[in-house]
Amino acid sequence: MALIYLASQSPRRRQLLEQLGVPHETLLPGPEEDAEALEQQLAGELPDDYVRRVTRAKLQAAQLRLTRRGLGVLPVLCSDTTVALGREILGKPEDPDDALRILRRLSGHTHRVLTAVSLAWPGGEAQAVSVSHVRFAAIPELALQRYVGSGEPMGKAGAYAIQGRIAAWIEHMEGSYSGIMGLPLFETAQLLRQAGIEA
């Protein structure tokens, strides 16, 4: 029996929630929903504002989904991760060439990874944001091309997965490893406790 709904298609988020020992079921968008449209950036939007807004929009969409499907009233958890270089948001790559462009921008620099988590439960709603810093060493062009060729960057903010091959080039990291993966466990556990769920 699920204790909460996780409104995310990410297997990493499921894995991290399992690490907390929280029983859950996924609450995924139907074919009639344009989930990607929720992630469109607004003109001039800063990374912190963006990740908060998108996560809140995902939560609202999931709550509507819950009502439409007539499912049991359970807490709903949503999350969104974005990668920022200064004020610039580096989202999911559109194609391999775009992935290469993003990774070249990150190579040899420190960037931020912001992950917002929103939780709604009967009688309440709360949000938290985890901010981490990641520095890549200068990555040779051939290594970048091999990484992109592996297919791993596709569908991932900033065109990389910290738990994947790119970890060989991470020179320094501070913050939340689980947050960089997509679900910061400390902040998530705090939100669950607010809803009366022990994690």
* 103: three-class secondary structure by DSSP: helix
For residue 140, the 8-state DSSP code is P
Q: Is 80 considered catalytic here? A: yes
Distances (CA, A) of 53 to 1, 27, 58, 148, 168: 30, 19, 9, 29, 33
From 34, 80, 95, 98, active-site residue:
80
Total residue length of the chain: 199
Burial 87-109 (b: 16+ CB within 10 A, else e): eebbbbbeeeebbbebbebbbee
Which residue from 110, 118, 115 is spatially nearest to 130, judged by alpha carbons? 115
Provide the annotated active-site residues: 80
